[in-house]
Amino acid sequence: MSAVGTKRLGIIGDPVEHSISPAMQQPALDELGLPIRYERWHTPLAELPARIDSLRSNDVLGANVTVPHKQAVIELIDEVSPLAQAAGAVNTIVNRDGRLFGDNTDVYGFRLSLTGTIADASTRNAVILGAGGASRAVVLALHEIGVPKLTIVNRRPERAEQLIAELGSTAVVAAEPGDVLADAGILINATSLGWHRGELPLAADLLDRLPAGALVVDLTYRDTDLIEAARERGIATLDGLGMLVFQGVLAFERFTGQWPSLDVMWSAARAARAPRV
């Protein structure tokens, strides 16, 4: 139960204990003096309908949604933004007087993280490893940026073809990463491989095929084996913390109508991430 006058926000997922969103969002809320508490709401799939319905309460502003529920929540809310509809995923739900509006801030988060790292992203060919849920936001962001050529590498090419068709993308498909790295100015790992040590989404020596000046991106927000393998070869890298921060900034605005301090959110996110690197 929240204090009188205090509103609530939370992150919905299964698992959710690892999320650093509360550690990032709460300092930004406090810095603006907003009487809002940001919580973790662990929610197994069987409990998802009840959890989403609870967001209609007048003391709840909304919620962020993480894996594995970004697709499942779509059928449980009242309205979905065109971008979230295109992405097939909702990661931000806003309570509008009892009606639930779903949006996707991951596309924005990835786009700002990437363009803030390399100014010439719109001139580089990109290769995405994986055709799962995380890939969808990346594909849409790269099309917004205007990359000349986008290739999706997946062990099951038909899954990548389906993703391309659903998004109306101009991307092409490859079954093996080694065939397409020679002209990849950006390589993005959007697979689930990498969260645990000892996992690589591709053989490390394939990184030697990347052109000079390439950027290797991993959506996981810590140093992964892929990030470390790229660094060992002198290749520039980008992890997922920037995407997390920037998507959180936009979600904050959707919830509160105010923009948070980017410095506060970055500082809090780095501090929360530090023990995991």
Same domain for 38 and 112, yes or no, is: no
Structural domain boundaries enclosing 250: 7-104+244-276
Per the domain annotation, does 63 fall within a domain?
A: yes
> What mean pLDDT value characterizes the chain?
95
Q: How far apart are CA 76 and CA 102, in angstroms?
A: 10
> If you average pLDDT over residues 43-65, what whole number do you get?
98
Closest by Cα among 202, 196, 195 to 216? 202
> pLDDT tens digit string along 105-152?
999 999 999 999 999 999 999 999 999 888 999 999 999 999 999 999
Report pLDDT for 4: 61
What CATH code is carried by the domain that includes residue 45?
A: 3.40.50.10860
Same domain for 94 and 115, yes or no, is: no
> If you average pLDDT over residues 215-241, what whole number do you get?
96
Report pLDDT for 197: 84
Same domain for 119 and 229, yes or no, is: yes
Same domain for 56 and 131, yes or no, is: no
Same domain for 96 and 122, yes or no, is: no
Q: How confident is the model at residue 1 (pLDDT cuts 50, 70, 90)?
A: very low
Per the domain annotation, does 138 fall within a domain?
A: yes
Report residue 235 as tokens. 């290749």
> If you average pLDDT over residues 227-251, what whole number do you get?
97
Share of the chain above pLDDT 90, in %: 89
Q: Read off the DSSP letter of residue 94.
A: E
Backbone angles phi, psi at 19, to 5 degrees: -65, 135
Same domain for 118 and 133, yes or no, is: yes
Q: Is the pTM of this model over 0.85?
A: yes
What CATH code is carried by the domain that includes residue 130?
A: 3.40.50.720
In sequence order, which residues have a C-beta less than 8 Å from that of residue 225 and are 6 or more positions away?
194, 197, 198, 199, 200, 204
Q: How far apart are CA 268 and CA 21, in angstroms?
A: 9
In sequence order, which residues have a C-beta less than 8 Å from that of residue 31 and are 6 or more positions away?
260, 261, 264
Same domain for 230 and 113, yes or no, is: yes
Same domain for 72 and 121, yes or no, is: no
DSSP helix, strand, coil percent of the chain (3-state; round to 5): 45, 20, 35
Per the domain annotation, does 2 fall within a domain?
A: no
Edge-first strand order for the sheet with 99-103 is: 36-42, 7-13, 60-65, 92-96, 99-103, 79-80
Write the burial class of residue 261 (CB in 10 Å: 0-12 exposed, 13-18 middle, 19+ buried). middle
Closest by Cα among 247, 249, 227, 248 to 239? 227
Q: How far apart are CA 268 and CA 20, in angstroms?
A: 9
Per the domain annotation, does 51 fall within a domain?
A: yes
Per the domain annotation, does 65 fall within a domain?
A: yes
Same domain for 233 and 257, yes or no, is: no
Partnered with residue 172 across adjacent β-strands are 151
Q: How confident is the model at residue 277 (pLDDT cuts 50, 70, 90)?
A: low
Share of the chain above pLDDT 70, in %: 98
Same domain for 186 and 269, yes or no, is: no
70 among known catalytic residues: yes
Locate tokens 């301090």: which residue? Answer: 261
> If you average pLDDT over residues 66-84, what whole number do you get?
96
Q: Count of domains in the chain?
A: 2
Q: How confident is the model at residue 276 (pLDDT cuts 50, 70, 90)?
A: low
Same domain for 129 and 194, yes or no, is: yes
Question: Residue 188 in contact with residue 152, Cβ under 8 Å?
Answer: no
Question: Residue 16 in contact with residue 42, Cβ under 8 Å?
Answer: yes
Per the domain annotation, does 1 fall within a domain?
A: no
Same domain for 232 and 122, yes or no, is: yes
Per the domain annotation, does 127 fall within a domain?
A: yes
Q: How far apart are CA 69 and CA 270, in angstroms?
A: 25
Q: Which of 8, 70, 124, 143 is catalytic?
A: 70
